Structure 1
Amino acid sequence: MTTTQAPYAAVAMQLTAQSVERCADRAEASAQMLSMIEALGPKLRAATIFIQQYAGTPVRLAVLPEYLLTSYPGRISITDFAAKAALDVDGPEYAALGQIAAQQNLFLAVNAYERDVHFPGLYFQASVILTPSGDAVLRYRRLNSMFAPTPHDVWSKYLGIYGLDGVFPVARTEIGNLAAIASEEILYPEIARAHALRGAEVFIHSSSEIGSPLATPKVIAKRARAFENIAYVVSANTAGISGTALPLASADGNSMVVDYKGQVLAESTSGETFTAFADIDLAALRAQRRKPGMTNQLARQRLELFAATYAGSVQPANSLSDGQIPDRDHFIRTHEAVIERLSKDGLI
């Protein structure tokens, strides 16, 4: 596909997530989510109009925060949360979000928990990019999560169904090669590098994190993932989470756009806002990637050096046997067993 060379604007929409914890059943949860999506459309349209008038660049990409429609599952059991709040790939929530993308001629990146017919009773956290036609062009399932199932927990079956391209998908679009990184995965350089080695130029990062004027680990990681891969990072944080016992602003602020040199181009403070927006210059990024020199870390990789070290696994694959539905304590037990093994082997 021929890609747009002229810069375009990307915006990280910092919005308040709403928990479904108090919803009685799936019907009420879905109604709440659809109401939120309906309210999203005017906010997004107003933001994109302002950005174009202010900066003179059309907005082609909007990124929404992590689990905006539901908040985190908390201690709701995996089966119950899947039944109550996880989206269906062909469900009405994605259809409504696709309609917004089509009406506003945007690539819209969303993050939600979703069900998979191949893995009944489970859910995965998914980052999905919807095109201006309203269709999904990318679906990435989070690979590293502390208290929820991931494709790695059902690795053999998942890989057999979706293949490695379905694990590390990169969408080649007219606004560049897009890939997604979910939440705390920004702290794991291997995930970003795997996408970059498949051609990713813009990392979509949906997050819900503690904001701070200090340099938090995630803020540092966003800049590191950008310059070490010569890629943009568009990172949208929540503007707090409503409907839980936590103070509202516990996960708020620091949405940002980072350029391929690791420089923060725009960053939001707290509250609902669209102020993390900036131009994405693909021509400049591509020129940098093709320039020989010490700063071209992506083209200087010697991956064979690390193949043997990475051949083993720290966190075990297939921790869930076929059809197993774990309790949430399964994940902490697995984590503790890994720490014990690493300690016994003298590695930590």
Structure 2
Amino acid sequence: MTAVSQYAAVALQIAARSVERLADRAAASQQMLAMIEQIGVKLRSSSVFVQQYGGTPVKLAVLPEYVLTSYPGRISIPDFAAKAALDIDGPEYQALGKVAQSQQLFLAGNAYERDTHFPGLYFQTSFVVGPSGDVVLRYRRLNSMFAPTPHDVWSKYLDIYGMDGVFPVARTEIGNLAAIASEEILYPEIARAHALRGAEIFVHSSSEIGSPLMTPKALAKRARAMENIAYVVSANTAGIEDTTLPLASADGNSVVVDYKGAVLAEANTGETFTAFADLNLDALRHQRRKPGMTNFLARQRLEPFAAVYGATVGQPANGLIENGQVKVPDRNHFLRAHEAVIERLAKDGLI
């Protein structure tokens, strides 16, 4: 593969579409495949304009969070897994692969996904599909309020995938890519763990409240970029269709942030490709290899913090493993677990 040190990246801000009202998996899959076809058309037209405007070919496109299905709502976990979660070799990934292959770019996105090792569950997965049409990165969200995560089945997950499957970094011709899912941009450890494994570009699929004010996520995107000397390409939804929420509840502010924390481009509201900018890997790598007060990666001392992290238990591992078996939880399981952690931390005088 031929390395590309400078190229355009676009955060494609489009509306997510809920599958909640659809009758069954066949109807859900039909709608998802139709959406992927529409995404391909919109992305191709957007890429043509970006190149005409800036003169640089688009090599990376990021889609919003759960764009094909919207959030599960109160649908039970096994029911949503059966109805809407993608199979890792299913037709939806094949269709996304055709888009990436036909347009010769890396296509990042986010979807709920089934795993045959964990029947009845699903994981929220951020993925990158390469120009070959193959998935080159698959990251499963670790912090989620109402959904299973790899940490909930930690011992079994590590046996199957190891740490490379927990914090994957795709080393590609357009740089080292890693994914951050939705509100995980608020957790510095997620981005830092990827950066310590070589990540240079964070693809961030989100569905969040847009605002002209500085939101917590907007602030976090700048911070994660600056402290890790990494680009952040963050795509937000342009609203969520076919739910009971007002359409534009999660709309706007898709953004590209450079490795110094500066915003290179930001979208307004509605469906748009206008959050696009050139990424310069040579400049990023020069910054990482240059001694100075702003080289946060090289200056970070890790050992002093290991003992503190190791001695403090927040959300416990293996919350969905019982007597060595994976159990399928009800929705309220996660709230009960969250409340138990708060109670324990308060009892220990830590909060």
- TM-score of the aligned structures, taking structure 2 as reference length: 0.98
Instruction: Tell me how far apart the structure 1 counterparts of residues 223 and 152 of structure 2 sit (CA, whole Å).
Output: 28
The one-letter amino acid paired with 1:315 is Q
Identity of aligned residues (%): 78
Unpaired stretches in structure 1, ≥5 consecutive residues: none
Instruction: Tell me how far apart the structure 2 counterparts of residues 313 and 178 of structure 1 sit (CA, whole Å).
Output: 30
Structure 1 position 334 matched with structure 2 position 337: yes
Q: CA RMSD in A?
A: 0.7
Partner in structure 2 of residue 93 of structure 1: 92
Structure 1 position 179 matched with structure 2 position 178: yes
Which has the larger displacement, 239-248 or 303-312? 303-312
Instruction: Tell me how far apart the structure 2 counterparts of residues 179 and 255 of structure 1 sit (CA, whole Å).
Output: 18
Deviation at 1:216, TM superposition (A): 0.2
1:238 partner SS: coil
The one-letter amino acid paired with 1:335 is H
Partner in structure 1 of residue 3 of structure 2: 3
Does the Cα contact within 8 Å between 2:153 and 2:326 map onto a contact in 1?
Answer: no
Does the Cα contact within 8 Å between 2:63 and 2:110 map onto a contact in 1?
Answer: yes
Instruction: Tell me how far apart the structure 2 counterparts of residues 3 and 183 of structure 1 sit (CA, whole Å).
Output: 29
Instruction: Tell me how far apart the structure 2 counterparts of residues 264 and 108 of structure 1 sit (CA, whole Å).
Output: 21
Deviations 1:139-164 (A, max 9, x none): 00001000000000000000110000
Deviation at 1:323, TM superposition (A): 2.3
2:342 partner SS: helix
Structure 1 position 56 matched with structure 2 position 59: no
The one-letter amino acid paired with 1:347 is L
Deviation at 1:41, TM superposition (A): 1.1
Equivalent residues, number: 347
2:104 partner SS: coil
Deviations 1:125-152 (A, max 9, x none): 0011000010011000001000000000
Unpaired stretches in structure 2, ≥5 consecutive residues: none
Superposed structure 1 runs of 4+ greater than 6 Å apart: none
Instruction: Tell me how far apart the structure 1 counterparts of residues 200 and 255 of structure 2 sit (CA, whole Å).
Output: 16
- TM-score of the aligned structures, taking structure 1 as reference length: 0.99
Deviations 1:246-282 (A, max 9, x none): 0000000010000000000000010000000000000
Instruction: Tell me how far apart the structure 2 counterparts of residues 337 and 66 of structure 1 sit (CA, whole Å).
Output: 29
Instruction: Tell me how far apart the structure 2 counterparts of residues 242 and 313 of structure 1 sit (CA, whole Å).
Output: 39
1:134 partner SS: coil
Deviation at 1:40, TM superposition (A): 1.1
1:61 partner SS: strand
Partner in structure 2 of residue 323 of structure 1: 326
Instruction: Tell me how far apart the structure 2 counterparts of residues 184 and 336 of structure 1 sit (CA, whole Å).
Output: 19
Partner in structure 2 of residue 77 of structure 1: 76
Does the Cα contact within 8 Å between 2:266 and 2:275 map onto a contact in 1?
Answer: yes
Deviations 1:195-232 (A, max 9, x none): 00000000000000000000000000000000000000
Structure 1 position 192 matched with structure 2 position 191: yes
Deviations 1:276-299 (A, max 9, x none): 000000000000000000000010
1:239 partner SS: coil
Deviation at 1:110, TM superposition (A): 1.4
Partner in structure 2 of residue 343 of structure 1: 346
Instruction: Tell me how far apart the structure 1 counterparts of residues 2 and 277 of structure 2 sit (CA, whole Å).
Output: 22
Structure 1 position 145 matched with structure 2 position 149: no
Instruction: Tell me how far apart the structure 1 counterparts of residues 268 and 256 of structure 2 sit (CA, whole Å).
Output: 13
